[in-house]
Structure 1
Amino acid sequence: MRFFTRLALVSAFLLPLPVLAQETAQTVGTLDAAKVPAVMARAVDDFIRPGYQNFTDQAGAMQAAMTTLCGSPSVESLEGAKAAFGNVVDAWSRIEIVRVGPVIEGNRFERILFFPDRKGTGLKQVQAALAKPDPSVTSVETLKVKSVAMQGLGALEFVLFGTGSEILETGEGSYRCQYGTAIAANLERLGSELTAAWDAPDGVAAAWKTPGPDNPLFRDEAEAAKELLGVLVHAAETVRDQRIEQFYKGERKKALPRQAIYWRSGNTFRSITANIEAVRALLDTSGMVELLAEGNRSVVSSTDFVARSLSRVSADIKPDVVAVFEDPAQIAKLDFLLLNSRDLILRLNNDLGGGIGLAAGFSFSDGD
C-alpha cells in the first residue's frame, strides 16, 4: 500500500509537467562562429562578473554579522549571523557552477566549499580547532594557509549551527566567534581575488571574449562554445550526482540526510534551487539561443522549462532534510528531482550540444 501511495504522489507531480523526463531530440546543427564572441562576452559581463561580485558582497556582510555577534553576543545577533550565512550560501550557489578559470587555481573552489567530505576529515579538523583554542584560526592571514576544509562555508556552518554553537549567544563563545569571523573574512578575500581576476582587462575575461589562434584558452570559437556549454552540463550533473544523490538515490531506507550539503543550517534545497536557477540564468543571459539555427531554438525553451520545473519543486521542499524523509509527499518531490535532473543533463548535453554543432551524445563528463 505504501508503494502505491508513493507512486500516486510521484504521478501527481508528473501529470502537470507532461514533457519532463522524456527522451531528447538530439538534433545536430552547425555552429555560427561569428556569434560566439558576443555570447561569451555576455556570459562574462552579465553572469560571471556580477556573480562573483555578489558573492564577495555577501561574504562581506557575513563578516560584518560575525563582528556584531562577537561584539554583542545574543540570541538576536546569532540569528542575524545565521541569516547572513544563508545569504552567502545562496550567492555562492549561484556562481559555483562556473568551475573553470581562476576559481580552480590555488584550490580556491575547495577553500570556499570543501564538499563532499566523504571521510569526515574536514569535520574532524574543525571540531579539533573548536575543542582546543588555537589563535592561528582566528586570523585570516594564518587561517588561509591551513587545510582547505577549515576555511570555507562548511567550517563556518559548523561554527554557527554545529554541536555547541549555542555558546555563541554568550560571552563564553568568544573564541568560536572569532574563528567564524576569520572564515568569513577569508571568504571575502577569496571573492575579491576572483572578482579582480575576472575584472582585469587583459585577463581571463578577455580570453573568453576573443577566441582565436593567439588566445591562450580558446584557439577558435568552437572551443569557446564548448567551454560555456560544459559549464552548464557539469552544473546539471553536479546537482544530480553531488547534491541529490549524495544523500538520496531513490530508496528511502538507504537515505543519508546528514550527508546532504548544508543540512545543519537547513540550506540544502536553497542551495540546490540556486544551482538550478544559475543554469537558467547563464543560459538566458549569455544568449546561447543565438548559436542555434532558427529551427532548433525551441531546444532552449524546452530546456528552461525542465530547469524551471526542477527549481520550483526544489524550492518547495522542507529545509530540514531529516524531516523530509518522514513525509511521503516530500519524498515524492525528491523523486521528481532525481528523475528530471537526468532529463536536464540530456537536454543540455544532447539537444543544446548537438544544436550548436557538437555531435549528439557528446559527453563532457567523459572528457571527449
Structure 2
Amino acid sequence: MLKALSTAALGALAFASVAVAQEEAISPTFPEPEAIRQVVEKAVDGFIREGYRGFQLAAGDLAEGMASLCSAPSPASLAAAKNGFAKAARSWARIEIVRTGPAIEENRLERILFYPDRKSTGLKQVQALLAKPDEAATEVASLKGKSVAMQGFGALEFVLAGTGSESLSGPEGNFRCRYGRAVAQNIKQIASELVAKWDAADGIQHHWQNPGPDNPLFRTEQEAMTALLGILVHGAEMVRDQRIETFYRGEDKSAFPKQAIFWRSQNTWTMVAGNLEGLRDLIRVSELVDLLPSDQHSIVGSIDFVLKSIMGVVEEMNPDIEAAVADTAGRQKLDFLLVNGRDLIDRLNDQYGGAIGLTSGFSFSDGD
C-alpha cells in the first residue's frame, strides 16, 4: 500500500478524507443516560482495563528480556531485548491516550515515558549515570527516588540504542545492562499498579460507570461522556502535536529529526502506530456510533476512514527519521499526516461532539 505517494495522490487522498460523508446540519440531542452508561462501560472494561492488562504483559516480557540480556550478554540476546522494547513501547502507546485517572497520579505517565524532553534532561542524566555509575540506579526501589526522566522508556531506549549500546552484547556493558534491567522492572511495576487501580471494584472503574451526585469524578452521564470523548480528542492531538510536529512542522520549515521520539531505535512510527491503534480500538470497542441517530452514523464512518488513511501512510514511513525528512516523498507523507491529523481532531471534537449534544463552541482542546 502507498509505496510512493506523489503530490497529486497525497492531495487526492487528503481531499477524500476531508470530503467523505459530508454531514447534513446537525440538530443535537444528548443521548439517553442509559445509552451513555453502556458506552462508557464498554470503554472502561473492553478498552481501558484490557489495554492496561496488555501493557502489563508486554512490560513483563520486556523485564524478562532485559534480565536474560544481563545474565547472558550476546548479539542475539541484545536483539531480543530490543524487540521486547519495541513491543512494550507499542503496547504502551495504545493505552497512553488515557491520560487521566491513575496514569496521572504519582507521576506515572512521566515515569513510564518522559516526553517531549525539550531540554534533553533525560538524555543528560542517563549519559551522566553511564559515565559515572551509581549502583543505586540498578535497583527498582532506589531508582524510583531518582528523576522521572531516568525511570522509563526514554532512558531504556538510550541504554539499548544510544552511544555505547554495543557494549551490551558483552561483559563490558554489565552496569549499563543492570540499569536497563531496573528501568524495565520499574515499568513493569507501574503497569501492575495501573491494572490494580482500574480493577478495584470500588475504585476508578466504579466512578466512571456510575455517575451521580456523590461521585467524586462525574455527577452526570454527560460529564462521563465528555471525559471519554476528551480522551479521543486529546489522543489525536498528541499524535499530531507531540509525535509529529515535535520534529516536523511543514514543508517550508526546518525539520529536527533528533527530536522525534525513539529516533535512535527507529521506533518513532512504532509509537505513532500504537497511538492510532488505541484511538481506533477505543472508538470501536465502546461503540460510539450507538449514541448517534441512525441518519448520522456516517460521522463515525468518516472518522474511521480518516484514521485508516493516516494509519496506512504511517505503515509506509521510513523508520529512519533523518532519511524521512530529507526525502521529498517522505516529507509529502509527513504533510499528509499533519493535514489529516487536524481533520481527525476536528471530526472528533466538532462533528461527533456536536452530534451528541455538546453546546456550540465547546472544545475538548481548550478543556472547556
Pair 1:141 & 2:141 matched: yes
Pair 1:123 & 2:123 matched: yes
Partner amino acid, structure 2, of 1:327: D
Q: Structure 1 pair 28/343, CA: closer, same or farther in 2 (3 Å)? A: farther
Kindly provide the CA deviation profile for residues 287-339 of structure 1, in whole angstroms up to 9, marking residues without a partner as x. 11111112221101111110111011111101110111232112111111011
Equivalent in the alignment of 1:11: 8
Q: CA RMSD in A?
A: 1.5
- 1:360, CA displacement in angstroms? 4.3
Cα distance in structure 1, aligned partners of 2:281 and 2:108: 23
- Report the more deviating stretch, 152-161 or 267-276: 267-276
Cα distance in structure 2, aligned partners of 1:27 and 1:170: 64
Partner amino acid, structure 2, of 1:215: N
- 1:34, CA displacement in angstroms? 2.1
Q: What is the SS of the residue equivalent to 1:94? A: helix
1:289/1:300 contact within 8 Å kept:
yes
2:14/2:339 contact within 8 Å kept:
no
Q: Structure 1 pair 77/328, CA: closer, same or farther in 2 (3 Å)? A: same
Q: What is the SS of the residue equivalent to 1:35? A: helix
Equivalent in the alignment of 1:153: 153
Cα distance in structure 1, aligned partners of 2:253 and 2:228: 38
- 1:214, CA displacement in angstroms? 1.8
Partner amino acid, structure 1, of 2:119: K
Query: Which of 17, 20, 26 is the matching residue for 1:20?
Result: 17
Cα distance in structure 2, aligned partners of 1:320 and 1:142: 35
Cα distance in structure 2, aligned partners of 1:16 and 1:309: 8
Equivalent in the alignment of 2:66: 66
Q: Structure 1 pair 252/74, CA: closer, same or farther in 2 (3 Å)? A: farther
Partner amino acid, structure 1, of 2:332: A
Identical counterparts, % of pairs: 53
- 1:121, CA displacement in angstroms? 1.3
Equivalent in the alignment of 1:30: 29
Equivalent in the alignment of 2:165: 165
TM-score, normalising length: structure 1: 0.95
Q: What is the SS of the residue equivalent to 1:217? A: coil
Cα distance in structure 2, aligned partners of 1:272 and 1:344: 14
Pair 1:230 & 2:227 matched: no
Partner amino acid, structure 2, of 1:164: G
Partner amino acid, structure 2, of 1:250: G
- 1:9, CA displacement in angstroms? 2.2
Q: What is the SS of the residue equivalent to 1:261? A: coil
Structure 2 counterparts to residues 185-200 of structure 1, below 5 A: 185-200=185-200
- Report the more deviating stretch, 307-316 or 179-188: 307-316
Partner amino acid, structure 2, of 1:259: Q
Q: What is the SS of the residue equivalent to 1:232? A: helix
Partner amino acid, structure 2, of 1:11: A
Equivalent in the alignment of 1:4: none
* Residue-pair matches, total: 361
Q: What is the SS of the residue equivalent to 1:21? A: helix
Cα distance in structure 2, aligned partners of 1:323 and 1:136: 38
Equivalent in the alignment of 1:5: none
Structure 2 counterparts to residues 288-327 of structure 1, below 5 A: 288-327=288-327
1:239/1:275 contact within 8 Å kept:
yes
1:21/1:342 contact within 8 Å kept:
no
Cα distance in structure 2, aligned partners of 1:162 and 1:78: 13
Cα distance in structure 2, aligned partners of 1:137 and 1:186: 11
TM-score, normalising length: structure 2: 0.95
Cα distance in structure 2, aligned partners of 1:308 and 1:149: 33
Partner amino acid, structure 1, of 2:93: S
Cα distance in structure 1, aligned partners of 2:11 and 2:51: 33
Cα distance in structure 2, aligned partners of 1:117 and 1:201: 36
2:75/2:169 contact within 8 Å kept:
yes
Cα distance in structure 1, aligned partners of 2:335 and 2:259: 17
Structure 2 counterparts to residues 261-276 of structure 1, below 5 A: 261-276=261-276
2:199/2:205 contact within 8 Å kept:
yes
Partner amino acid, structure 2, of 1:289: V
- 1:128, CA displacement in angstroms? 0.7
- 1:253, CA displacement in angstroms? 5.4
Equivalent in the alignment of 1:183: 183
Q: Which runs of 5+ in 1 are unaligned?
A: 1-7
Q: Which runs of 5+ in 2 are unaligned?
A: none
